Structure 1
């Protein structure tokens, strides 16, 4: 019985759902200080688990906590208030 439970727990963890992510284009980000500021701003949001910023490719990738997500309005507001333009068509 213990082997069955152990096998099931391994299978369950193997098939766990990937966290939901969203990639957002950020125009106007020109330096590492910009990237650090954006990272900090999104890390403060309770819905966000992880933030990856690409200065070179001008995007921010948000990984959300289970069942959580920021609205496009909230993302736009956070970035526009910091002086950036936003694009939601990044892949």
Structure 2
């Protein structure tokens, strides 16, 4: 019985992790790995962010938010523009 209960709890926790809210934002002007590292650091410093994935090849940043948290589009745009990049919110 304990094994079944443990399995159910682990399954539910995996579903919750998988349901973390993400947002993918296009970044214009990102041309090198140094750019990608700088963007990663800028977003990792934000308390709302759990994980940052930057694709230099596809020119986007994927933000995974902490539970119940989110950055506004204005904040994302400000962070990227202050770093010297243009933003596109129509990435999927």
TM-score under structure 2 length normalisation: 0.88
Q: Secondary structure at the match of 1:9?
A: helix
Structure 2, unaligned runs of 5 or more:
none
Q: Aligned partners of 1:80, 1:40: CA distance in 2, in Å?
A: 15
Instruction: Give every structure 1 segment of 4 or more consecutive aligned residues whose post-TM-superposition deviation is greater than 6 Å.
Output: none
Q: Alpha carbon RMSD of aligned pairs, Å?
A: 1.6
Count of residue pairs the alignment pairs up: 91
Q: Which residue is equivalent to 1:23?
A: 24
Flag the 1:12–1:35 CA change in 2: closer, same or farther, 3 A: same
TM-score under structure 1 length normalisation: 0.89
Q: Secondary structure at the match of 2:42?
A: helix
Shift of 1:15: 3.6
Shift of 1:18: 1.2
Flag the 1:14–1:29 CA change in 2: closer, same or farther, 3 A: closer
Q: Aligned partners of 2:4, 2:19: CA distance in 1, in Å?
A: 25
Flag the 1:13–1:47 CA change in 2: closer, same or farther, 3 A: same
Q: Which residue is equivalent to 1:59?
A: 60
